Amino acid sequence: MSRLIDKGLEDQSVLLIRMGELTYQTLSISIKGYIESSIVQGQIREMSDRLMLMADKVEDRSFELITRFQPVASDLRAIKSYMKIGYDFARYGRYALDISYINDQISGLSECDTEIKESVEKMCEKVLQMVKISIDALRKHDVDLAKTIVETEREVDAMYQSHLNKLLEEETGNSRSITSRVLMSRYLERIADHAVYVCESIVYIVTGEKIRLR
């Protein structure tokens, strides 16, 4: 027999999946704008603001579920995790906005050589892959898929460290380009971290096990 709270939890899951789809779109547009040196900050700001409103809605609904019904331990686990995932998705949006700001205000990547551009683009692809894994794992509540994010996260961390090392080794360089690349690589690394956090929350929802996937 279904419970009244089950419909509320299902609605939360649907809302978060919609958030996930919007976050992927937001990040994709922002990253593409950075790579292609196109102006997207206004569009990304609107999308990021929508994500913040959706995160607030997730939080409000979570408190409503707690006050209106009598959630058992597994319900509370899901409610808590959904609130956290909502926050993580909202952070995706804010980092997308930060990336669009770099491109619009600092630029720099267009002035880099081909090798550097390819390195940044590869890191972007890996991070978007991690974001997609986190969204798909949530959609399916798939623990095995969530755990696959570990390998890609390690690759991103290695790319981030390698990128910083190359920057330190450069004897000369365009200051705008260097600033742009430092900020971009840092934002990508943080997005990757939040993708891992989402996957950890999915494992917790399904199994009740608190694990670290880093």
Quick: pLDDT tens for 8-34: 999 999 999 999 999 999 999 999 999
Q: Which domains does the chain have, with CATH numbers?
A: 4-207 (1.20.58.220)
The single-letter code of the amino acid at 5 is: I
* pLDDT for 182: 87
* Torsion angles phi and psi, residue 37, rounded to 5: 55, 45
What DSSP designation does 171 have? S
For 181, what's the count of Cα atoms within 13 Å in the CB-facing half-sphere? 31
- pLDDT (0 to 100) of residue 105: 82
Looking at residue 171, its pLDDT comes to: 57
Q: Is 107 left (phi over 0), alpha (psi -120 to 50) or beta?
A: left
Give the model's pLDDT for residue 108.
61
Low-confidence ranges of the chain (pLDDT < 50): none
pLDDT value at position 1? Answer: 56
Number of H helices, E strands in the chain: 7, 0
